[in-house]
Homo-oligomer: A and B are copies of this chain.
Amino acid sequence: MGPSVTFDDVRAAEARIRGLVRRTPVLTSSVLDERAGARLFFKCENFQKAGVFKARGAHNAVFALSEDEAAAGVLTHSSGNHGAALSLAARRRGIPAHIVVPEGASAAKVEAIRRYGGQVTFSPATLPGREAAAARIRGETGARLVHPYDDPLIIAGQGTAALELLAEVPGLEAVVAPVGGGGLLSGTALAAKGLDPRLRVFGAEPAGADDAARSLAAGRFIPQENPRTIADGLRTSLGQLTFPILRERLEGVLTVPEDEIVEAMRLAWQVMKIVIEPSSAVPLAALLGSGSPLRGRRVGVILSGGNVDLDRLPWIKA
């Protein structure tokens, strides 16, 4: 048995990161309510520090370390939002963050990591190449590896967004969050079921990277091969920790086609006047779809982040 995560861990995370991350606002939109045939409450993690919910887990992981553990720094091989968020959390604790970035990663991502003080090491783009680079840095520095989603402290930290949402909005009947590796959704499910077992928790996933839907339907872990989706935060497979958490607590996973993701993203920008990234638009797309099981309900929606390349928007053809 690996380590487990509980509702108490989410509560402990909330106390630990309070004041370090933002208590993000909850926004509503009468236009989107009408289109979804439901009452939607959007937890705006796009306004979170570093522009993404991942600041929650990263701060929880970094600030849970003892002084001795912390001194050696932290390490990850996620080039995306997690790498930037971990860099920010480490800088605020005054410890080094080593981020392994695959060659060919976008300049914007590398720049974000460096802006938050992360130390970038380039590696081959393959998983073995990245793991070898991480192992080498770990040997040299003793830094603690912080996995982007399959880590109890990360999962507990990500669950604090749902905890805040449910404390602020009374009477919610369901919560929907996007699912890639499952860190955010696992934390959300722990928080929601811990507060009220009757709350229904749904994942939302691109049809082109639907390993969570398939894994949960099959009752066994099925890895995602060749993910095809614009929602770059959701291309990963579920983890060893996140899969069992979700299997026990999830009502279901809603899948959406690519064109509906882009449409929902553009609609949120247009109607709500907020910048959200494609991964964030996936739950909204599911709720706008004709097959939504949540019509007529009061639904909390986690808008996961807003880190977008503003020079290349998916609805503008170059």
**Taking beta carbons and an 8 Å cutoff, which residues of A are in contact with B?**
25, 27, 44, 46-47, 51, 266, 269-270, 272-276, 306, 310-311, 313, 315-316
Contact = CB atoms under 8 A, between A and B. Distances in A.
B273 A310 contact: no
A270 B310 contact: yes
Contacts of A269: 275, 310
A51 B272 CA distance: 8
A275 B27 CA distance: 14
Nearest to A26: B25
Nearest to A25: B25
A274 B276 contact: no
Contacts of A313: 310, 313, 316
A46 B275 contact: no
Given A47-B273, A276-B273, A310 B306 contact: no
Contact of A274 (B270, B273, B315, B316): B273
Contact of A27 (B47, B51, B270, B306): B47
Contact of A275 (B51, B274, B311): B274
Nearest to A28: B22
A250 to B, nearest CB: 28
